[in-house]
Structure 1
Amino acid sequence: MNRSKINKYIGIACLSVVYSACKIPPLVQRNENKTVPANYNADGATDSTNTAKVTWNTFFNDQNLNSLIDTALKHNQELNITLQEIEIGKNEIQTRRGEYLPFVGVKAGADLDKVARYTSRGASEATTEIKPGKEMPDPLPNYLLAAYATWEVDIWHKLRNAKKAAVERYLSSVEGRNFMVTNLIAEIANSYYELLALDNQLDIVKKNIDIQNNALKIVRIQKEATRVTELAVRRFEAQVLSTQSLQYGIQQKITETENRINFLLGRYPQPIQRDFHSFDNLPLADIKSGLPSQLLANRPDIRRSELDLAASKLDVKVAKAQFYPSLGISAAIGYQAFNPSYLLRTPESLLYSIGGDLVAPLVNRNAIKAVYGTANAKQLQAVFNYERTILNAYMEVANQLSNIGNLEKSYNLKSQQVQKLSQSINISNDLFRSTRADYMEVLLTQRDALEAKFELVETKKQQINARINAYQALGGGWQ
């Protein structure tokens, strides 16, 4: 068989190996769905004004609250942990970028080699002369000074895509930090207004205790005048004690809420500066929902999911490139000699090399298929997670907008209820003095008024929380 036929068969064999290596399993793909409804409710509003564009220190006009948020953004431990995750992502980009650039290094070395005399190499070196009359040294030293480079030519963009995926994940970690900021701000604001509500409830209890003590004095006077029995006195005393016990439960909630805020601020327990007297007349922020499509740009969690999806698609391309042959180039240049005085002699001590290799996977294809299949499955996961995040964001906004409307109606009715019951307290006391009402009517009226005032404060707090949550759901707070 002549040389040309041998070369032909070798070429065919190499091509068949490369073809089998490049054969890729089918990819299951799914295009993400970015469509959202045109509006949040049935009224068909299309106003693009969006409260999410308002910065948090403008949205919250309470200086005490803004000071708390500012402290938390600097010292919250969980947020600082996330910032370190961002630094890790930034370093990962540099790592991936270095992989597709040539790797160049410098090498210096020295060694001593003693070869056995009665071996083929030893016998050969024993009869070799460097120059007439000068034999090869024994043992033989070796000195080396060289530069070398290796480079994997990124012909399939495997390394570049890996770097791009690292960039996408870095940007995703930044959006993750932004999402954490929105959650942190909302949690501090909700806790702050819960604290104001508890202060008001405690103030209501104390005022109610004064009212009940005054009623108790009247009952005792009427008992002495034999207009009521000892039973009425005992019932009024029990009512006063019951109301007094409420304040300690509220004080405990105040302590826990203060400590929760301090924890979010990354500091040990201390009093929270606040002014609760203006809670009843606190103006409610106006919420402009804008268009649902704006969620894609405003919500950090949606942006993070989108970046994770882009990274997962690049991971599939990286895994796909593993099936293709890889081209590597290596080169070296330097000096090598057995004597330091000869080391830099040119060209006698000069050495250089250059080479390239093309490597295609053949035997270990199952492992590559598994990596490729995993990357494909993770890409599908990222698609579903992206769609779920969009759906969840839309639902959160729709729920909070509905909640704002319903709470406003509830608050108006409860305000009227408190007004009527407050008037009833005075009426029942007057009727009781003139023996035209039973003491039980007075007790029940006082109890109902206390509960109604508590519920009114709670509803006010829920109104504020609904606006904070709507601001968060729209994607506000991280700018």
Structure 2
Amino acid sequence: MSGLLAGFSSCVVQKQQSEQKMLAIPQKYPGIADTTAIGKISFRSFFKDTMLMKLIDTAIVNNLDLKNAMQRIMIARANLLFQKGLRLPSLDGFVSASVDKYGKYTMTGVGNFDTNLSQNIDKDQKVTNPVQDYYFGLKSSWEIDLWGKLKARKTSAQAQLLATEKGRQWVITQLVAQVASYYYELLALDNRLEILNRNVNLQEKAVEIVQAQMEGGRANALAVQQFTAQLLHTRSLQYETLVEVTRLENEMNLLMGRLAETPIPRGWSILEQPVSGQITEGIPADLLINRPDIQQAEWQLAATKADVEVARKSFYPSLVLTPYFAFNAFKFPLLFNGSSIAYGLLGGLTQPIFNRYQLKTDFAVANAQQEIAYNEYKLSFLSAYKEVSTNLRNIEYYKKILELNNEEVETLTSAVSISNDLYLSAYASYLEVITAQKGVLEAELQRTEARKALLLSFLDLYRSLGGGWE
């Protein structure tokens, strides 16, 4: 008993680490005062392209990562059910039969022989030789949760379940954003192909014109070669674009759980996709509510806190009650006789002594895991804040870039028309025409890229604010 008390007194020195500091959350994003976040809008309201929404619905139904996330929830639910069961008494049915032949010079052998000679027993109470033993009944075991250790385990399991559910929501958020991102990139490539096809047609006509001029003595072979080389380069860009289209379509099919080469339907063109409107990113505190990954990290932190409690309270004694009720007899015909009923109750108090180093190790590990979970929680918020801030700036800058690209395309388109007229009038060289055509092609492609980048910035802002899973 003195050893038990000494062990008990020593276990109380195990203390939890001090509480982590609360996150310092800014009141607003730099230079922004909006209070309503687009992250609270469902993706069915955020996206206007019905074809894109159909693709997202298909991905949500068939995506394998999302199915795995659902299975992780099922595992967490099973673990919670198990932890709940630990707080309840167990009940087991037990049936046994045995035969023992004791030696003549053993305590049990002598005792049985002496018993059979007693005048105080009847014939049914005489011990058989060999000795038989039959048992049919129920056994139970119940650990009394004196210190709340089992309750802390249940709390940890509940937090893990909620964390896995938030993890599934985050997978949906990422999946919606990824499908939409690939879709916008495909639309940009479609627009790129349209620009290239149009330029190929124009350049083929330019080659025909310069060949006719060479035959008439107004141009030389070098001009024909330069125009032809420009045409060949543009055609090679077409095939490079088709390679990228194939890659993105196959990536989308993988997200949707389908075989590669399955056609990806398109809806609105990239020029028809809305890129303007009021941006309402909300306040930074909204991230703690809207972002599933932050909530997942928060629940994981709660689970590790409960795990620390479990590890700390494992130093305390545990009380286990073991009752039983059975039919027990050494003659089978008498097993279910009313006089064969046996029952009992055993209570045991167990205090860890020689495995305290293991308990100390578990406690240290639990504290370290709690610290890791807190750092991951803090990192998830800082990452989310960084993503929102970056995307807000990107939208602001890409809008300006797109405006400048539009003006550039208009100016260069006019320059191509003028250079063609001047060339036909012998007031400009073929190099000036080629330069003008090359300039407008590059400007149109850059405008497409700027529009795609703006759409992707809007999309990533929506994702970084926690939108997409509802």
TM normalised by structure 2 equals: 0.95
Structure-2 separation of matches of 1:370 and 1:236: 76
Structure-2 separation of matches of 1:475 and 1:453: 34
Instruction: Identify the range of structure 1 (52-61 vs 464-473) with the bigger mean alpha-carbon deviation.
Output: 52-61
Checking the alignment, whether the CA contact within 8 Å between 1:30 and 1:380 is kept in structure 2 is no
- Alignment partner of 2:26: what SS? coil
What's the counterpart of residue 8 of structure 2?
Answer: 18
Q: Which amino acid aligns with 1:52?
A: G
What's the counterpart of residue 344 of structure 1?
Answer: 336
Structure-2 separation of matches of 1:461 and 1:166: 44
Match for 2:88 among 101, 108, 126? 101
- Alignment partner of 2:285: what SS? helix
How far is the alpha carbon of 1:164 from its aligned partner? 1.0
Q: Which amino acid aligns with 2:12?
A: K
- Alignment partner of 1:292: what SS? coil
Q: Describe how 1:287-436 pairs up with structure 2 within 5 A.
A: 287-346=279-338, 348-436=339-427
Q: Does 1:439 align with 2:421?
A: no
Structure-1 separation of matches of 2:228 and 2:137: 98
Structure-2 separation of matches of 1:29 and 1:162: 21
Checking the alignment, whether the CA contact within 8 Å between 1:29 and 1:380 is kept in structure 2 is no
Q: Does 1:126 align with 2:118?
A: no
What's the counterpart of residue 201 of structure 1?
Answer: 192
Q: Describe how 1:35-184 pairs up with structure 2 within 5 A.
A: 35-43=24-32, 45=33, 47-129=34-116, 131=121, 135-184=126-175
Q: Assess, with a 3 A threshold, how the Cα gap between structure 1 residues 99 and 455 changes in structure 2: closer, same or farther.
A: same
What's the counterpart of residue 264 of structure 2?
Answer: 272
Q: Assess, with a 3 A threshold, how the Cα gap between structure 1 residues 285 and 303 changes in structure 2: closer, same or farther.
A: farther
Q: Assess, with a 3 A threshold, how the Cα gap between structure 1 residues 409 and 133 changes in structure 2: closer, same or farther.
A: closer
How far is the alpha carbon of 1:13 from its aligned partner? 5.8
Structure-2 separation of matches of 1:76 and 1:456: 33
TM normalised by structure 1 equals: 0.94
Structure-1 separation of matches of 2:243 and 2:336: 84
Checking the alignment, whether the CA contact within 8 Å between 1:319 and 1:371 is kept in structure 2 is yes
How far is the alpha carbon of 1:328 from its aligned partner? 1.1
Residue by residue, what CA displacement relative to the aligned partner does 1:10-32 show, whole Å, maximum 9, x if unpaired? Answer: 6x665334313x23334332424
How far is the alpha carbon of 1:418 from its aligned partner? 0.5
Structure-1 separation of matches of 2:143 and 2:158: 21
- Alignment partner of 1:406: what SS? helix
Structure-2 separation of matches of 1:406 and 1:187: 23
Q: Which runs of 4+ in 1 moved over 3 A?
A: 12-17, 130-135
Structure 1: where are the runs of 5+ without partners?
1-9
Structure 2: where are the runs of 5+ without partners?
none
Q: Which amino acid aligns with 2:43?
A: W
What's the counterpart of residue 245 of structure 2?
Answer: 254
Q: Does 1:282 align with 2:269?
A: no
- Alignment partner of 2:346: what SS? strand
Checking the alignment, whether the CA contact within 8 Å between 1:285 and 1:467 is kept in structure 2 is no
Checking the alignment, whether the CA contact within 8 Å between 1:59 and 1:285 is kept in structure 2 is no
Superposed CA RMSD: 1.6
Structure-1 separation of matches of 2:43 and 2:377: 26
- Alignment partner of 2:265: what SS? coil
What's the counterpart of residue 3 of structure 1?
Answer: none
Q: Which amino acid aligns with 1:34?
A: L
Q: Does 1:34 align with 2:57?
A: no
Checking the alignment, whether the CA contact within 8 Å between 1:162 and 1:314 is kept in structure 2 is yes
Structure-1 separation of matches of 2:123 and 2:304: 70
How far is the alpha carbon of 1:221 from its aligned partner? 1.9
How far is the alpha carbon of 1:453 from its aligned partner? 0.5
- Alignment partner of 2:414: what SS? helix
Percent of aligned positions that are identical: 36
Q: Assess, with a 3 A threshold, how the Cα gap between structure 1 residues 457 and 13 changes in structure 2: closer, same or farther.
A: closer
How far is the alpha carbon of 1:386 from its aligned partner? 0.9
Structure-1 separation of matches of 2:7 and 2:18: 28
Q: Assess, with a 3 A threshold, how the Cα gap between structure 1 residues 275 and 128 changes in structure 2: closer, same or farther.
A: closer
What's the counterpart of residue 244 of structure 1?
Answer: 235
Q: Assess, with a 3 A threshold, how the Cα gap between structure 1 residues 351 and 62 changes in structure 2: closer, same or farther.
A: same
Checking the alignment, whether the CA contact within 8 Å between 2:52 and 2:267 is kept in structure 1 is no
Checking the alignment, whether the CA contact within 8 Å between 1:96 and 1:159 is kept in structure 2 is yes
Q: Which amino acid aligns with 2:6?
A: S
- Alignment partner of 1:146: what SS? strand
Structure-1 separation of matches of 2:221 and 2:322: 105
Structure-2 separation of matches of 1:28 and 1:166: 21
Instruction: Identify the range of structure 1 (456-465 vs 116-125) with the bigger mean alpha-carbon deviation.
Output: 116-125
- Alignment partner of 1:156: what SS? coil
- Alignment partner of 2:79: what SS? helix
Residue by residue, what CA displacement relative to the aligned partner does 1:369-389 show, whole Å, maximum 9, x if unpaired? Answer: 110011011111111111111
Q: Which amino acid aligns with 1:106?
A: G
- Alignment partner of 1:464: what SS? helix
Q: Assess, with a 3 A threshold, how the Cα gap between structure 1 residues 160 and 223 changes in structure 2: closer, same or farther.
A: same
Residue by residue, what CA displacement relative to the aligned partner does 1:293-336 show, whole Å, maximum 9, x if unpaired? Answer: 11100000110010001011000100010111111111112221
